[in-house]
Amino acid sequence: MTSIELLDIISGNETSAVQLKEKIDSADKLAAEMTAFSNSDGGIIIIGVKDKIGEIIGLSAEQFDKTQSLAANVASNNIMPPIYIKTESVKIDEKNILIIHIKEGIHKPYKDNNNVIWIKQGADKRKVTDNNEILRLFQSGTNFSADEMEVYDTSIEDVDKDKFESYFKKEFDKTIKEEGLTFEQALIAKKALQNNRLTLAGLLFFGKEPQKFKPAFCIKAVSFFGNKIGVKEYRSKPRDIDGVIPDMFEKGMAFFKSNLKYIQKSKDFNESGSLEISDIALEELLINALVHRDYFKNAPIRLIIFDNRIEIISPGKLPNSLTIEDIKHGNPVVRNNRIFAYSSHALPFSGLGTGIKRALSEQPNIEFINDTDGEQFIVKIPRR
C-alpha cells in the first residue's frame, strides 16, 4: 500500500472494514478487534493514527517491532481457532505506520481468550450472545447447515408417509420396497430422520404439520391499497400460507395469480391474457426464497403486493460474502444443503444456479436488495 492510498483510507475515518489506533499494547484488546474482523467481512487495523480525528502519530522503531510481534502472538495464541494475518509497514512524513490485514475467517465463530465472540457493527464491535446468531456464524464459516439439524420433539410419526414415498419413487424411479429398504431406513438414507427425530429439511418437505413445530417457517402474504406497508386497509390478506415447502410454493403462486392483473395481448374477448408480471420470474423468485432463505432466523417469508410494485422478503442476508452481482451471473452459494437437494425432485427447480438469471431474462426490471443491517433479502418488481 502506498502512502497516498493509506492517507485516502485514513481520511475516510473508521468503518466496518477499518480501525484506527494510536497504539496497542493490550493483547486482550487486540484479540477482540481481530476476532471481530475474522467473524465479519475482514478488514485492517491501522496503528500509529489517532482514531476519530485521523492524526498521524507514527510509531517508534521499538514500538513498531513490539506491536508487530504482539499481533503475531495474539493471532496464534489469543484467538481460537488461530487466525493468519499479514502486516505491512508504510511511512507517512517519515512516521512509521503498521497495518494489520485480517481476512474473513472460514472457521467461524472465532473467540478471544475469554471465550467471547465479537463481530463488527459499523465502525464498532459488539459481543455475540444470542444462540441463533452464533449458529449463523457456524453456518457462514463451515458446511454446517440449519436444515440438517434435528427438530426437537418430532419422530417418525410426524412424517406424511404418502408424501415421502411419492418423493422417493420420483427420485429413484423405484418404490422404497423395491429398493430393499424399510420406511425408516429410507428416511435415514435421505437424511430426513436422524437419531429418531426429523431433520428440519425432512419436516419441511415430508412433515404432516411442519408449522406445529416451526410456526414461523411459513409465508405471510398481503395485498395492500396504496404503496405503503403502514396502511390499515388491504385488498387481500389470506391466512398464513403453511404446509410443506412444495405446498407453500403452490399456494404462494396462487396468491400472486389471484391478486395481480391479467393483460390481454389481442382484442379477442375470450383470451385470458398474461399475468402483468412474468409468472416464470415469480416462480423462480419464490423458489429462491423458500430454498435459500436463512432457516436460523425465526421469521416468515413475506409476499407483499402494493399498487406500484410487489416485494418478496426472505429472512437472512446473502451468505458467505455472496453479492448481488454473483447471483445475477449464476454463481450461487448453497445455504441449505438438504432442502436444495430435495427441491430438485419436488419443485420446478434445476439446482444449476440459473434461477435468478432466468427470472431476469423474463422480467429485466427486478431490483435486488441485500439488507445486511436488517438481515433480509428483498426483491422488488414494479407493476405496470
3-state DSSP percent of the chain in helix, strand and coil, to 5: 35, 25, 40
The pLDDT, as a whole number, for residue 93 is 87
Could you tell me the pLDDT band of residue 74, with boundaries at 50, 70 and 90? very high
Instruction: Spell out the residues 6+ positions from residue 380 whose beta carbon is closer than 8 angstroms to its own.
Output: 309, 310, 311, 366, 367, 369
Instruction: Convert the pLDDT of each residue in 82-95 to its tens digit.
Output: 998 999 999 988 89
Same domain, 322 and 272: yes
Burial 26-63 (b: 16+ CB within 10 A, else e): ebeebbbbbbbbbbbebbbbbbbbeeeebebebbeeeb
pLDDT digits (tens, 9 = 90+) for 233-287: 888 888 999 999 999 999 999 999 999 998 877 666 556 678 999 999 999 999 9
Number of separate domains in the chain: 3
Crossing angle of helices 337-346 and 161-172, rounded to 10°: 80
At 268, which CATH number? 3.30.565.60
- 204 and 279 in a single domain? The answer is no
What CATH number corresponds to the domain at position 7? 3.30.950.30
Q: Domain for residue 135, yes or no?
A: no
What mean pLDDT value characterizes the chain?
90
134 in a structural domain: no
Residue 11 belongs to some domain of the structure: yes
Q: What is the pLDDT of residue 334?
A: 80
116 burial via Cβ count (<10 Å: 0-12, 13-18, 19+): middle
Asked whether residue 301 falls in the same domain as residue 312, the answer is: yes
Are 159 and 287 contained in the same domain? no
Within this chain, do residues 18 and 156 fall inside the same structural domain, yes or no? no
Q: For residue 139, tell me if it sits in a domain.
A: no
pLDDT over 70 for what percent of the chain?
95
Instruction: Kindly state whether residues 122 and 170 are assigned to the same domain.
Output: no
Query: Residue 235: what pLDDT?
Result: 87
Tell whether 176 and 237 lie within a shared domain. Answer: no
**Confidence class of residue 303 from pLDDT cuts 50, 70 and 90?**
very high
Which of 190, 210, 230 finishes a domain? Answer: 210
pLDDT of residue 352: 63
Same domain, 105 and 176: no
Identify whether residues 12 and 103 lie together within a single domain. yes
* Predicted local confidence at residue 11, as pLDDT: 85
pLDDT: which is higher, 212 or 236: 212
> Which has the minimum average pLDDT: 129-133, 142-146, 170-174, 320-324?
142-146
Instruction: Look up the domain containing 205 and give its range.
Output: 147-210
Identify whether 136 is part of a domain. Answer: no
Q: Do 163 and 275 belong to one domain?
A: no
Does residue 291 fall inside a structural domain? yes
Q: Do residues 328 and 353 share a domain? A: yes
Residue 300 lies in a domain: yes
Instruction: Return the SS3 of 33.
Output: helix
What is the pLDDT at residue 106?
A: 81
> What's the whole-number mean pLDDT along residues 61-71?
92
Structure confidence at residue 165 (pLDDT): 96
User: Is there a domain that residue 98 lies in?
Assistant: yes
From 210, 231, 249, give the residue that closes a domain: 210
Q: Are residues 95 and 189 in the same domain?
A: no
Cell reading at 216: 414461523
